Amino acid sequence: MTGLFTRNRLIGLVLAALVAIVDQAVKMYVIGPLALREVLHIDLLPFFDLTYTENKGISLGMFQANDMETRWLLVLLTGAIALVVLVWMMRERKLGDIIGLSLILGGALGNIRDRYDLGYVIDYADLHIGTFRPFLIFNIADAAITIGVVIILARSLLVRDKDESQSGEPPRGETKDA
């Protein structure tokens, strides 16, 4: 398959959609049947609880959107970032890069939907070691974004693709017999 929608890019688009859908489904479950918005906290495991939080900011709670103008500015800003990630993903060819970008895109879409509909992002995952909390309370979208960024960084720092000249292939526009 050639062109814009290669197999790897289609896999990326499907993965991004799945991340966004699963994120929204879990958020609906924790505020619906689990009523986390009302009970605020559910003990689950010695290292993991559900704790309801409304995040009006972006990463690490920065840039709090406490008014309508800031809320819509954050929707536009995160939407623009998601669009850049989509364009980047559609330009990539390697599945590893596309997977990382699709996790970022899917997570961004899940959080953008919250901010658009509610004015804040619902966070609930509370990972801790006793009273020590190495992370802020997060959600599936946040986890997908973080994993996607780690994949992109790891691939850019650790994976070295062969140059065409090293692979035995002639440079573009030249033939082997030249």
The residues annotated with a catalytic role in the active site are 123, 142
- Please tell me the distance from the alpha carbon of residue 101 to that of residue 90, in angstroms, as a whole number: 9
Helix (H, G, I), strand (E, B) or coil at 35: coil
The string of DSSP letters for 50-112 reads EEEEEE-SSGGG-S---SHHHHHHHHHHHHHHHHHHHHHHHH---HHHHHHHHHHHHHHHHHH
Residue 18's identity, in one-letter code, is L
SS3 content of the chain, % helix, strand, coil (to 5): 55, 15, 30
Q: Which two tokens stand for residue 7?
A: 């197999």
Contacts of 135 (CB under 8 A, 6+ apart): 127
State which H helix or E strand residue 41 sits in. Answer: strand 41-45
Q: Which two tokens stand for residue 107?
A: 């997570």
